[in-house]
Amino acid sequence: MDTVKKILIVEDDQFLREFYQELLTTEGFLTETAQEGEEAASKIKKGGYDLILLDIMLPKKDGLQILEELKNNPPSTPNGPIVVLTNIGQDATIQKCFDLGATGYMVKSALNPDQVLVEINNYLKTAKNPA
């Protein structure tokens, strides 16, 4: 029996945050959200998420700063993959995310909701089980 997967959605845009939360909850995922970087960093440091969707452009602390902090100081309870979900598509930014430990990178404007779900399920299937 599969346990319910817990996903953290880090997104400052209220419409998108609520949209992704509803999309994932409808699919049977347990979701939490963070709307700015400091709140996200605090939740991620507690650990225990099966997947984290991380925006780059965030108030207070951006996604790259969060990735850097995690690389230098990983949480005691591991998280699953961190997938950057942003509209920034520059190669240098994408490479920096991977260098800092991101598992995947999705450009929001290039994907419809079904494609986002397929990608999320693929990341969850290939994730190393922290248990």
- For the whole model, what pTM was predicted? 0.93
| Average pLDDT for 14-30 | 96
The pLDDT score that the predictor gives to residue 99 is 97
Radius of gyration of the chain (CA): 13
User: What's the chain's average pLDDT?
Assistant: 92
| Average pLDDT for 110-119 | 92
Alpha-carbon distance 57 to 54, whole Å?
A: 9
CATH superfamily of 6-126: Response regulator (3.40.50.2300)
- Name the percent of the chain in helix, strand, coil, to the closest 5: 45, 20, 35
Q: What is the pLDDT of residues 85-101, one digit of tens each?
A: 999 889 999 999 999 99
Backbone angles phi, psi at 12, to 5 degrees: -85, -20
pLDDT of 127 over the 90 cut: no
- The pLDDT confidence band at residue 2, using thresholds 50, 70 and 90, is low
Q: What is the pLDDT of residues 47-76, one digit of tens each?
A: 999 999 999 999 999 999 999 999 999 998
Backbone angles phi, psi at 127, to 5 degrees: -65, 140
